């Protein structure tokens, strides 16, 4: 029997509904506004139980549980709940409005281009989610007793990314806590297909290590631009999860730093006792990778990559953004060596992403900076530019005096650098250069020759010039603004 039509109200309690943002399996979310005296106005996200489920006692109980649970959680990486109310027969939750995009849209856009999300960007997302989860897992009730919370739905769609680069985990709608354990029957399967743990798909008792597993799924998919567990049928996916089949990660994660792969394999272990002891320990391991490799895993790097990739763009009012999935591409200079590109597909270009990578001064253990190694190896006393490959294996620096690009390998265990190559740039100092998101090409802007040069990056990190330099008439290129074309 079809549920009776329930028109969307213009108001719920003190909140004016402005527009619908999303509809899920249990509720729908609106952008809403609350106004007060003396010109006060606050925009929020308002979650309303679906009309066809409003009379279902189980869904109503779950909605109430979510509100009560989230009210006890306050953390920068969790979506904040402000209010819970009832208007007539309508229940609603007033929450923090996170304007930006979601990890699901970022992952889909990366997959459509075939370009994995850069390591430092993916790690910032993963660390933020992990910190929020760790707080939830360790949360206490008002009497100081552990809540015993398990999210059970850590998936890209529930990870929100704000326009300032803040990452927040939301939607505790199917979370399990000690107080609310009665809501889930033994053997009942809850969660999203592809984002469950082995114990979750087999209907066993869950603990925080289940969330650790699903959080690692999200990280692996950002890093490989592919679903970790997929198949033609739902049962095929469930079997791969049950067996913790990591063949996709092993096949498509060869470019990843070895220490990061170690963390992923452990968090994705089939047996929960083989995973990290706590979510906090998982976060600590990821932070150690960031520290050892000196990665810029921070909000600024995330925003810079989203903007330069064309993924996050303003759509009108300040604070509103939307996602754009762009086709994969090649640097324009390489088009002569590639098949012709159809003019109808030449729209939708994206800028090369260039993180502002920097090396700090020599630490107490005596590790050398790029400039000291470049001086001793290549005879130059300074560097004009540096960039770290997305795999974390190589570092590139340009020498002011010798007009070349030096290549260093970065040790997996200790982070020490070893000079492996230097490439002549044709009699001019590369003032700026950038590595494209695929890690296949390096584009250099020459300071004195007024040209752009493209180098291919080999499997060993060494550079080979691809084609002749492209002249830039009238002025020296002061920044790398290359475009990718499909």
Report yes or no: 56 and 40 within 8 Å, Cβ to Cβ: no
Strand locations in 167-319 (E): 167-169, 312-314
Q: 266-300: buried (b, 16+ CB within 10 Å) or exposed (e) per residue? A: bbbbbebeebbeebbebbebbeebbebbbbbbbee
Gap between the Cα atoms of 264 and 223, Å rounded: 11
Angle between helices 279-293 and 119-137 (to 10 degrees): 150
Q: Which residues are catalytic?
A: 153
Q: Is 352 exposed, middle or buried (0-12, 13-18, 19+ CB in 10 A)?
A: buried
Q: 67-80: buried (b, 16+ CB within 10 Å) or exposed (e) per residue? A: bebbeebebebbbb
Gap between the Cα atoms of 238 and 294, Å rounded: 37
Gap between the Cα atoms of 359 and 254, Å rounded: 25
Angle between helices 208-224 and 279-293 (to 10 degrees): 30
DSSP string, 66-124: HHHHHTT---TTBPPEEEEEEETTEEEEEE----EEEHHHHHHHHHHHT-PPPHHHHHH
CA distances from 174 to 133, 150, 158 (A): 15, 9, 12
Identify which of 135, 152, 141 has the alpha carbon closest to the alpha carbon of residue 188.
152
Give 143's contacts (C-beta < 8 A, 6+ positions apart): none
Backbone phi and psi for residue 480, each to the nearest 5 degrees, phi listed first: -95, 110
Backbone phi and psi for residue 63, each to the nearest 5 degrees, phi listed first: -65, -40
Q: Where are the alpha helices (DSSP H) in 350-483?
A: 370-378
Gap between the Cα atoms of 383 and 175, Å rounded: 52
Report yes or no: 211 and 151 within 8 Å, Cβ to Cβ: yes
Terminal-to-terminal C-alpha distance of the chain:
49
| β-sheet bridge partners, residue 281 | none
Identify which of 15, 21, 35, 25 has the alpha carbon closest to the alpha carbon of residue 94.
15
């Amino acid at each position: 029997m079809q549920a009776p039509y329930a028109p969307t109200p213009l108001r719920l309690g003190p909140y004016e509904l402005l527009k619908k943002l999303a509809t899920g399996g249990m509720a729908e979310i609106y952008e809403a506004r609350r106004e007060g005296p003396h010109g006060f106005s606050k925009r929020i996200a308002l979650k309303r139980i679906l009309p066809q489920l409003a009379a279902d006692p189980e869904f109503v109980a779950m909605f109430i549980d979510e509100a009560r649970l989230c009210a006890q959680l306050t953390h920068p990486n969790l979506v904040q709940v402000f209010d819970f109310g009832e208007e007539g027969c309508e229940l609603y939750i007033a929450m923090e409005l996170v304007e930006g995009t979601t990890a699901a849209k970022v992952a889909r856009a990366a997959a459509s281009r075939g370009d994995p999300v850069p390591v430092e960007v993916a790690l910032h997302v993963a660390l933020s989610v992990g910190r929020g989860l760790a707080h939830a897992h360790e949360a206490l009730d008002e009497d100081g007793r552990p809540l015993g919370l398990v999210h059970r739905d850590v998936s890209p769609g529930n990870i929100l990314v704000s326009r300032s680069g803040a990452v927040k985990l939301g939607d505790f709608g199917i979370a399990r806590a000690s107080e609310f354990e009665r809501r889930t029957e033994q053997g009942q399967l809850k969660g999203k297909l592809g984002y469950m743990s082995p114990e979750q798909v087999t209907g066993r008792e869950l603990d925080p290590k289940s969330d650790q597993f699903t959080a690692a799924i999200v990280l692996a998919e950002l890093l490989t631009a592919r679903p970790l567990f997929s198949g033609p049928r739902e049962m095929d996916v469930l079997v791969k999860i049950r067996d913790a089949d990591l063949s996709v990660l092993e096949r498509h994660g060869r470019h990843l730093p070895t220490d990061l792969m170690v963390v992923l394999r452990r968090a994705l272990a089939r047996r929960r006792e083989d995973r990290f002891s706590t979510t906090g320990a998982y976060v600590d391991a990821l932070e150690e990778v960031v520290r050892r490799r000196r990665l810029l895993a921070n909000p600024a790097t995330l925003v810079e990559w989203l903007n330069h990739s064309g993924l996050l763009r303003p759509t009108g009012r300040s604070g509103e953004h939307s996602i754009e999935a762009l086709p994969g591409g090649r640097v324009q200079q390489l088009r002569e060596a590639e098949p012709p590109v159809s003019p109808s597909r030449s729209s939708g270009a994206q800028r090369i992403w260039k993180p502002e990578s920097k090396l700090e001064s020599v630490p107490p253990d005596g590790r050398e900076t790029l400039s000291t190694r470049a001086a001793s190896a290549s005879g130059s006393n300074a560097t004009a530019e540096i960039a770290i490959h997305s795999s974390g294996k190589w570092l590139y620096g340009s020498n002011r005096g010798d007009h070349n690009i030096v290549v260093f390998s970065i040790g997996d265990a200790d982070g020490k650098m070893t000079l492996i190559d230097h490439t002549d740039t044709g009699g001019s100092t590369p003032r700026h250069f950038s590595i494209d998101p695929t890690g296949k090409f390096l584009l250099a802007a020459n300071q004195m020759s007024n040209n752009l040069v493209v180098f291919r990056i080999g499997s060993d990190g060494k550079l080979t010039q691809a084609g002749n330099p492209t002249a830039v008439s009238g002025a020296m290129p002061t920044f790398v603004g290359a475009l990718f074309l499909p």
